[in-house]
Amino acid sequence: MLVMKFGGTSVESAAAINRAAEIVRTRVSQNPVVIVSAMAKVTDQLLTMGQHAGLGQRDRALELSRSVRERHYTTAGELLGTGIFTQFHTELEAEFDALDELLRGIAAVGELTPRTTDNVLSFGERLSSKIITQAFSARDIHSHLVDARECIITDATHTRAVPLFDETNARLKNRLNPLLHRSHVPVMGGFIASTRDGITTTIGRGGSDFSAAIVGAALDAERIEIWTDVDGMMTTDPGLCSDARRIKVISFEEAAELAYFGAKVLHPATLLPAIQKNIPVYVLNSRNPKCEGTRIISQSPSCRNTFKAIAAKKRITIVDVVAARMLGAHGFLRAIFEAFDRHRCAVDVVSTSEVSVSLTVDSNEAIPKLAADLAKIADVKYEGRKAIVCLVGENLRGTPGIAARVFTALGEINVRMISQGASEINLTFVINEDDVPEAVRRLHAAFFSELDPDVFE
Ligand code: ASP
Ligand code: MG
C-alpha cells in the first residue's frame, strides 16, 4: 500500500480536487490511503473565527463562517452536480451548523481555550475529507471516509498533541486494513486526532504531513507521496537564481536542515515516523504529476556534488553583545540567553569571540526592548536587514577545503558571521540582505555548474 497526502493548495477548489482524483486513479491498484488537508486558507480562517468569538465578536465570527460555508457549498456543487449534491448538502449543512453553534458558545463565554481551538480548527479537515470522499465516489473511485479522530490517538496537549503510537498503530491497522483488502480507498483528514476519551485534538499546524507519516509507518507503506504545488525541492530558490534545478533525491537530515533555513515545501521533522522505518517519501506536484519530484530517504545517496542546496532566510537581525571583562564570567552567557527567552526571540546562529557574542534572530518588534534589557549587563548593538545563507550537503562531512572555496566564491561580499553546525552537513553564514541574490548566484555557479545526474534533474 501507499499513502497519498494532498495539501491545502492541492484541494483548494473543484478543479484541484478533480486533479487529485485523477492522480489517485492512477494508483488505485496499489492500494492507496488518501490523507487530505483542509482547503487552502481554511484553517487560518477558522482560527480567526475562533479568535473573534473568543473576544465576544460573535457576528464577525459568524460572518466569516458564512463565507467559508459558501466556498465549500460551491466547491461541492461543482464537483457533484445537482443530483448528489442535494442529498449531500444536508450533511455539510449539519457540520456548518455545528460550527456556528460552537462559535456562538465561545462568544457567549468570551474565552477561546486550546481545547476549543482544536474543536474549531478540526472543521477544515472534517469538511474537506467529506467532500473529497464524495467527489472520488462520483468519479467511480471506491472511496471510504475514515474519521481520523477514531484512529489517531494523542495526549491532551491541545493544538500540538503528541500521538500515542501503540494505540494509534493498532487502531489504524484495524480500521484501514479491512478496507484495503476490499480494494477500497480510505480517505482521512490530516492534522486532526483525538484523546483516548474522544476529545478532538490537532497535532500542530501543517500537521497533515505528520498524519501521512504516522499512517504510512503504521501500515508499512511502500512509500508516502506528499502532493503539493511545486515540482519538489530545488537546489535554490528559482526566484533568486534561474539556474536552480530540482533535487531528485535527498537525505532526511539534509531536507531537515533546508526546511529550517527557509525552504518552505515541508517540515521533514514530521516525516520521522516514516523515515525511521525506511519508507521513502516523495514530494510531488499535483499540477504537474508527470514530474518525478523529490525523494527523501533515510540514507544519503552517493553524490558527486559537495552540496545539495543553498537556502537563504531574509529578515534577520544580528544582535552584538560586547562585554570586554564579563564574557568569560560564570553565568554571563546564560543571562544573555535568558533575555532572549524572556522576549520570546528564538536564536538561529551564534558566534562568540573573546570579548563579544553575536546572535541572530528573525527581525521582530521585540528587538528594541530586548536590546534595552541586555544593555543592563553589556554593550549592545543590533542591525537588521541581514540574511542567513546556508549550504547543505552530507558530503561536507570530511571534505577538506570547502570553506575556502565558499568564501573565495563570495569574493568581496561582506560576511558578518560564520557557523558550521554540529550536524556537519551545513555551512551557514550571515550577510546583508541586499547581497543575497548575488551571493546565491555566485555560490550556485561555483558548486552547481556540473551536476551529478543521479541526484539532480
Ligand atoms: N490544515 C492544517 C494547517 O493548515 C494542517 C495542514 O494543512 O497540514 O495547518
Ligand atoms: Mg502543509
Residue 32 alpha carbon to ligand 2 centre in Å: 20
User: Does residue 43 line the site of ligand 1, with CB under 6 A?
Assistant: yes
Residue pLDDT tens, the chain, 457 long? 999 999 999 999 999 999 999 999 999 999 999 999 999 999 999 999 999 999 999 999 999 999 999 999 999 999 998 888 888 999 999 999 999 999 999 999 999 999 999 999 999 999 999 999 999 999 999 999 999 999 999 999 999 999 999 999 999 999 999 999 999 999 999 999 999 999 999 999 999 999 999 999 999 999 999 999 999 999 999 989 999 999 999 999 999 888 877 656 777 788 999 999 999 999 999 999 999 999 999 988 899 999 999 999 999 999 999 986 666 677 888 899 999 999 999 998 998 887 889 999 999 999 999 999 999 989 999 999 999 999 999 999 878 889 999 999 999 999 999 987 666 899 999 999 999 999 999 999 999 999 999 999 9
Nearest ligand to the C-alpha atom of residue 212: 1
Is the CB of residue 289 below 6 angstroms from any atom belonging to ligand 1?
no
Answer whether 115 contacts ligand 1 (Cβ < 6 A).
Answer: no
Tell me the CB-side half-sphere exposure of residue 25, using CA atoms within 13 A.
13
CB distance 451 to ligand 1 below 6 Å = no
Ligand 1 centroid to 190 CA: how many Å? 8
Give the number of C-alpha atoms closer than 13 A to the C-alpha of residue 306, restricted to the C-beta side: 21
Q: With a 6 A CB cut-off, is 204 part of the ligand 1 pocket? A: no
- Specify the residue with its C-alpha closest to ligand 1, atom 5: 206
pLDDT score for 352: 84
Predicted pLDDT of residue 264: 67
DSSP track, 398-434: T-TTHHHHHHHHHTT----EEEE-TTSSEEEEEEEGG
DSSP string of 301-314, one letter each residue: PP-SSS-SEEEEEE
- Spatial distance between the Cα atoms of 281 and 120, rounded to a whole number of angstroms: 30
Transcribe 245-295 into DSSP letters: -BBSEEEHHHHHHHHHTT--S--GGGGHHHHHTT--EEEEETTSTTS--EE
Instruction: Give the position, in ligand 1's atom list, of the atom nearest the Cα of 37.
Output: 7
Question: What is residue 323's predicted lDDT score, i.e. its pLDDT?
Answer: 82
The pLDDT value recorded for residue 263 is: 59
- Interval between CA 208 and ligand 2 midpoint (Å): 7
Kindly tell me the burial class for residue 364, based on how many C-beta atoms sit within 10 Å of its own C-beta (0-12, 13-18, 19 or more): middle
Q: What DSSP line would sit under 185-204, residue for residue?
A: EEEEESSEEE-TT--EEE--
Between the CA of 206 and the centroid of ligand 2 the distance, in Å, is 4
The span from the CA of 36 to the CA of 46, in Å, is 17
